[in-house]
Amino acid sequence: MLQAAFWCILVLKYVFWIVAPDSYYFVMLGWISVLAGVSFLQLTKSRCIFLPKSPCGVVLLIYVAWAVFCCFLPWTDDRVTALAYAILPLLAWPFIANRDGAEKALVGFCCGVVVGGLIVVVFVLYLVGWGGVSSRDGGLEQLGPNTIAFISALGLFCSMYLSDVWAGTGRAAVSKIFVIIFLVFTFLTLSKTTIIAVFAAMLFSGVPLFRRLGLIRSSVLVVFALVVAFVFFFFAWDKIYSKLSDPASFETFSSRLLLWEQILNSLSGWDAFFGFGFNSSVVVSKAAGLHVFGTESFGQAHNAFVEGVVNTGMIGVILLFYSLFVAFLGLTWRVNFGVGNKALAEVRLFYLVVFLLVVRSISEGSFAQPGTIDSVVYFYIVIFFSVMDGGRRLRLKVA
């Protein structure tokens, strides 16, 4: 119950922000405080945490410690907020279990993400309707189609996991309905990066969809997919055509290349090694006079590597991407060759989420951006995978 509540509240971050857009500081600290309270309750209940043994988990913990240190560098924007964002991923630690309790913990994780994702879907549709999902109009300035697509994709993968775990029960049928809802909603965002990531992740994870469904049901699914594709392109053609007919959109990667160039050019000397300070993107951009996307500053670098350099320097980037590289290689091996049937659903879920984050990190700050849903989900998945590889239980005395 606490597991599901934690992840549901995490996913609802942007809903809280949209409801009170003029009180961002208090909304975010309140959101983190509630998450901290739920995390503490879980800690008092379990009275233990699991320590990772594999390199990806250990290095990721070192990165979090480095991020806390970077909160005290000169350019850090508001140290209280920076520290809150730096320790935010750690709040997911009490919800990590070893191999024996993995299924129960991940069911809680997936239920929370699915419920939170459905609330976001309903909330967005209430604000802008079906036609406005792919824009930032109608009060979605803080959310945007890329973030909506990411939340929807997470809901899709979690629904797929629940469908596997609950196979043969009525709950599995409900989970499959959620799979369709999140898949359609991901398409409606027109987020190219997320749509490509979803289908590539499913392809490379070896999801044996057609083999499990059989010839007749597979044929029905293909026909349904073609109908959905036709409806999708019929209603979205104007936007698609405008993108395709604008070479500048591709040449500058929607102005992201300009942003990366200006940020990297502003780094020199020790700044390249230590960064400007955790959560310093806005302050640095204002001081450097960066003008991208028609604004006087950028809230993120729209690339995890560049975002990591700004916030934690090359030292932090090396730690963060080493953990990502090792975790991704390990999951790729296990999802294809190295696990038995019992663990396959868990490993596939980990792989799908990490694959999504890897692709998303090309065009978004993602797990390297302070205070994001991505950073918490990434920490949870990598540490969980590291613990399942052979973690050790640490008993705690919690009042």
Q: Is the pLDDT of residue 112 over 90?
A: yes
Distance CA 116, CA 39 (A): 17
- Measured between alpha carbons, how far is residue 139 from residues 131, 334, 338, 360 in Å? 14, 43, 46, 23
- The arithmetic mean of pLDDT across residues 36-55, rounded, is 84
By C-alpha distance, which of 160, 81, 68 is closest to 349?
Answer: 160
How remote is the C-alpha of 302 from its chain's centroid? Answer: 14
Q: Of 58-72, 75-89, 363-377, 380-394, which range is least confident?
A: 380-394
By C-alpha distance, which of 383, 386, 364, 367 is closest to 375?
Answer: 367
- Measured between alpha carbons, how far is residue 225 from residues 16, 156, 180, 187, 380 in Å? 34, 16, 11, 12, 33
Q: Are 368 and 304 in contact (CB under 8 A)?
A: yes
Number of domains, the chain = 1
Q: Are 56 and 385 in contact (CB under 8 A)?
A: yes
pLDDT of residue 237: 45
- Measured between alpha carbons, how far is residue 332 from residues 254, 350, 363 in Å? 31, 10, 22
By C-alpha distance, which of 389, 320, 319 is closest to 350?
Answer: 389
Q: Of 114-118, 160-164, 276-280, which range is least confident?
A: 276-280
pLDDT of residue 156: 93
By C-alpha distance, which of 248, 138, 235 is closest to 190?
Answer: 235
Q: Of 70-79, 103-112, 174-183, 237-246, which range is least confident?
A: 237-246
- The arithmetic mean of pLDDT across residues 144-173, rounded, is 87
Q: Is the pLDDT of residue 81 over 80?
A: yes
State which residues form the domain around 59. Answer: 2-395
pLDDT of residue 125: 81
- The arithmetic mean of pLDDT across residues 77-104, rounded, is 86
Distance CA 30, CA 133 (A): 27
What confidence tens digit (pLDDT) does each residue in 283-324 have? 555 545 454 444 444 566 677 888 888 888 889 999 999 998
CA-angle at 21, arms to 67 and 74, nearest 5°: 30
What confidence tens digit (pLDDT) does each residue in 165-223 have? 888 788 888 888 999 999 888 888 888 788 888 887 777 776 544 445 554 555 555 55
pLDDT of residue 34: 93
